[in-house]
Chains A and B, each alone.
Chain A
Amino acid sequence: MQASRTGPSDGAASFPDILRDAGLYALVALGLCIPIVSFRTELSQNSALDLVPRWGLVAGLCAAVFVVRVLQRLVLARRDARKALTPSAHQATEAVHGEPNAGQRVSRLAVPVFVGFALGLPLIAVLATGGLSQSRYWIDLGILILTYVMLGWGLNIVVGLAGLLDLGYVAFYAVGAYAYALLSTTFGLSFWVCLPLAGLFAALWGMLLGFPVLRLRGDYLAIVTLAFGEIIRLVLINWVDLTGGAAGISSIPRATFFGIPFTAGDDGFAARFGLTFDSMHRNVFLYYLILALALLTNAVTLRLRRLPIGRAWEALREDEIACRSLGINTTTTKLTAFALGAMFGGFAGSFFAVRQGFISPESFNFLESAIILAIVVLGGMGSQVGVAVAAIAMVGGPEMLRNLGFLKAIFGEGFDPSEYRLLLFGLAMVAMMVWRPRGLISVRVPSVALKERRAIAGSLVREGHG
């Protein structure tokens, strides 16, 4: 059980100790690999299972665990040694007014740089890849990331500001998508009419689902919202008459440029604006559409934070009982958070439907909720910039796996890096939480100040319980 004793005190552990500890880890890894890695079950011709031994892989994994553990211990030892020399700001007896550190100075520049980059991405992509159609991959990736940024920002209202743990956020994404799909296919309404309707519809669902769970706290709230999310998905699968069941809804009207379709015909977008037709026009338009929606979400959230409702949300996250003693109606305050978060989820859902042209319940499973929540928590709850960075890391990072084709040279032809996308995603979630439990940007910026706005350390900020 020696391996179980790690802490700040063993920062000065000797190298043989570290090796022994890493050896134990490797041994445990060996135990974990038996038999799930060491034998692969293969269906044979007569549909019985055959076992294929793979001890080489097991050895490789154990070695990897060994190396990673040694490196981790060395890094930790250095960090602890450094920490021992610098007292934390919380040990100070008087208020510390430090100059902003490098990271904080960079983060001041970060927002304009981000927005500028986001605005210019299509141009950059076209220039870098040498043509509109060649830039498709990057623009599509941009759309994907921005969708998650928007979802993250929407959920941030519920989780980050109001402190209400929602594991079923994807339900509102689904409601928005289906609302758009059904309204446009049955009534032929245009995107710009459907978008607000879908948002309102999702907000209504947010209130409906929010109402019964108001009394619940923490993990229980998370589980009930998860249950609601799953119920909505299962209903979408089983209510075939309305939703088309598992097959979903296809041929959803595509996005138009304010009424002008992106078609090759005479009244198409290209012809009207004197351009040569390119199917990428639509993608670029969609890119700017989701960027605008995401920025709208951000602007509204930032504005709300400075309004009494936003302060009430944050106060609710800090201490619900104190809120009630100050005359704040916690029921309506929570419901508005649910409704607004759901509304932005609904907007994002409409966008998803109009972009894909096809939706099915498959796209709205629990994993999506988990990804969005992970983005919010990893970003640092309440931090808009953090959420954007986390969305890029969590969604963009796994995408990069597709580009690691060279690994085939190492692991053989059958190796497909994107197969490991979710595996690494799960590992990354654990690693990030262990590394930064409070997320990338854990400080809170006050909504108002008399003299200067100083960031509040994350350790003081509560994460909410309701």
Chain B
Amino acid sequence: MTAPIPQRDAVLTVEHLSMRFGGLLAVNDLSFVVRRGDITALIGPNGAGKTTVFNCITGFYKPTEGMLTLRHADGTGHLLERLPNHAVNRRARVARTFQNIRLFQGMTVLENLLVAQHAPLMRASGMTVLGLLGVGGYRSAEAAAIERAKAWLDRIGLIARADDPAGDLPYGAQRRLEIARAMCTEPVLLCLDEPAAGLNPRESLELNALLRHIRDVDGTSVLLIEHDMSVVMEISDHVVVLDYGVKIADGTPGEIRSDPRVIAAYLGVEDEEIEAVDAEVGLTVPVTGAEA
């Protein structure tokens, strides 16, 4: 491996990732690194291939080319492109949310969080056999799982609605629940697909706090796709910019904000107009920053 960044720093290394759908090259030779303990943002205009990258990382698509390495803190590595879909979560410990929320709508909030703890509960129930016979430690394992779920519900402010069907929650709460559900799988890397989409400003700030908490307290690295620049600039430690499936920039939020290619890609404008836009983007940051 010839990654330019020391390996113990990188939780996810994407190397020469390409994804082709028929004649369409959705992602073209993309390489970037998600560092451990960082919130990394993947941004780009609509159709830039961000969600395709996510689907490759989380095993929903098999990349046409490229290598995706996920490294745990103890040094074990997983080649994500070789893992079956569900093993990306179970073994490599990558969790994700979806752009169009995919909760189990007909199940309660609590049930959603218990489904996320499937693997440990399955072991505790002796692959169902012991649990069916009522022997073994399933009861205590389930109680522990419920405690964990309760802790998460407390954190996302949904403890009062634990017994309501997830489909009845308001939109913002559904987004938070989906993040909590992903976190219940105890991931090393959490991938969020537009977590702030459709949130009001207050919910958006709560989201920022939640993500920081996940990074600092749970020690989970975060990779997120986001259109809301206030969120991106506010919380991310590192930003990767995609356009037409190609990486056009990669750096800190400050570097990205002043990158002419990024601004051109976003707005499709001449260079001289960039400064005006730059000021506009810069304006949004102090405002939200002050509130947070």
Residues in A lying within 8 Å of B, measured CB to CB: 95, 300, 303-304, 307-309, 311-312, 314-315, 318-319, 321-330, 336, 444, 446-454, 456-457, 460-462
Contacts and interface: CB of A to CB of B under 8 A. Distances in A.
B165 A312 contact: no
B161 interface: yes
A449 B132 contact: no
Nearest to B130: A307
A327 B165 contact: no
A236 to B, nearest CB: 32
B146 interface: yes
B106 A460 contact: yes
Interface in B73-103: 84-90, 95-96, 98, 102-103
Given A304-B132, A449-B110, A95 B168 contact: yes
A335 to B, nearest CB: 13
B163 A450 contact: yes
A211 to B, nearest CB: 15
Contacts, number: 138
Given A315-B107, A318-B106, A456-B108, A328 B118 contact: yes
B167 to A, nearest CB: 4
Contact of A95 (B84, B103, B104, B161): B161
Given A309-B128, A319-B104, A327 B110 contact: no
A457 B125 CA distance: 29
B86 A324 contact: yes
A325 B89 CA distance: 6
Nearest to B126: A307
A177 B206 CA distance: 60
17 contacts: A95-B164, A307-B128, A308-B122, A311-B111, A318-B105, A323-B115, A324-B59, A325-B60, A325-B95, A326-B182, A448-B111, A456-B106, A456-B108, A460-B105, A461-B105, A461-B106, A462-B106
Contacts of A314: 104, 106-107, 111
B244 to A, nearest CB: 26
Residue of B85, B106, B117, B163 ringed by the most chain A CB atoms within 10 A:
B106
A325 B114 contact: no
A447 B163 CA distance: 10
B58 interface: yes
B150 interface: yes
Given A308-B125, A321-B102, A451 B163 contact: yes
A325 B128 contact: no
B138 interface: yes
B45 interface: no
B24 to A, nearest CB: 22
A450 B146 contact: yes
B115 A328 contact: yes
Contact of B168 (A448, A453, A460): A460
Nearest to B133: A303
A456 B165 contact: yes
Contacts of B96: 325
Contact of A453 (B88, B115, B163, B182): B163
Contacts of A330: 86
B282 interface: no
Q: What's the interface size class on B, roughly?
A: 35 or more
Contact of B110 (A304, A307, A448, A456): A448
Contacts of B102: 319, 321-322, 325
A328 B95 CA distance: 12
Given A300-B132, A453-B163, A446 B121 contact: no
Contact of A326 (B60, B95, B110, B138): B95
A324 B146 CA distance: 21
Given A312-B115, A327-B185, A448-B146, 18 more contacts: A300-B132, A307-B121, A307-B131, A307-B138, A308-B114, A308-B117, A315-B115, A319-B105, A324-B60, A325-B95, A325-B102, A328-B118, A329-B86, A329-B90, A446-B163, A449-B162, A456-B107, A461-B106
B163 A312 contact: no
Given A300-B132, A450-B150, A324 B85 contact: yes
Interface string B158-187: 000111110110000000000001100100
Given A314-B104, A322-B103, A450-B162, A303 B110 contact: no
A207 to B, nearest CB: 15
Contacts of B185: 326-327
Given A300-B132, A308-B122, A318 B107 contact: yes
Nearest to A462: B106
A447 B90 CA distance: 24
